Amino acid sequence: MSQTPPKPHHHGDLRAALIRAGIDILQTDGFHGLSLRKCAARAGVSHAAPAHHFDGLAGLKGAIAHHGLTLFREAMVAASKDETDDLARLKGICRGYLNFVAARPALFRLMFGFESHEIEKAAREIDDAVAYDVLRAACAPFVRKDLPAPILEAQVWSLIHGYATLYLTGNFLRDVHALPEQEAFDQVMAALDRMVSL
């Protein structure tokens, strides 16, 4: 895509404005509300203008996801940075994960929903690392010879990702979601105690 717009001509910086518009629309109108034409309208340009900055809708979604990943990382960092204990820190990461899901459901859906398959794949692999590193660091203290880092990370990531998505969609887990939110989270995340114990 056009990663170097050196000097904006008409708008100012349309590319950034469209991404901002997209994130706003996701928050306001939900995932369905996002469309190229609405982003264009909100940015005050014509309906086909975005085509010059993104490779169609998939390209715009890719750019939004790219930006969203830094917000995602920030949420996890913020929720874990005050923890000193290794386990509490890991749970803080998960707490941040869930906070992000609750705060920006549509953006999360764009980033991690099945749609991510159709998103511009190029930069994705690099971007993912931005968020994944946070988890990796939090998992590091628990790595053992019989529990390699990639496996542990996959286990933890699967657990929190699964819980977050089931939480978001309301599928299954009704008994648990009937509990107060924090208690439900704590009880499910208690699985980490065992997964990580000697």
Contact status: 91 vs a second copy (CB under 8 A): no
Residue placing its CB nearer to DNA in the complex, 8 or 162: 8
Contact status: 75 vs DNA (CB under 7 A): no
Q: Are 104 and 26 in contact (CB under 8 A)?
A: yes
Contact status: 30 vs DNA (CB under 7 A): no
- Provide the 3-class DSSP secondary structure of residue 147: strand
* Integer CA distances (angstroms), 15 to 51, 55, 108, 124, in order: 10, 12, 21, 18
* Integer CA distances (angstroms), 79 to 10, 99, 192, in order: 41, 8, 17
Beta bridge partners of 147: 144
Q: Mark residues 42-71: x for contact with a second copy by CB under 8 A, - for none.
A: ------------------------------
Residues that bind a second copy (CB under 8 A): 31-32, 109, 112-114, 116-118, 125, 128, 132, 150-151, 153-155, 157-163, 165-166, 168-176, 184, 187-188, 190-191, 194-195, 197
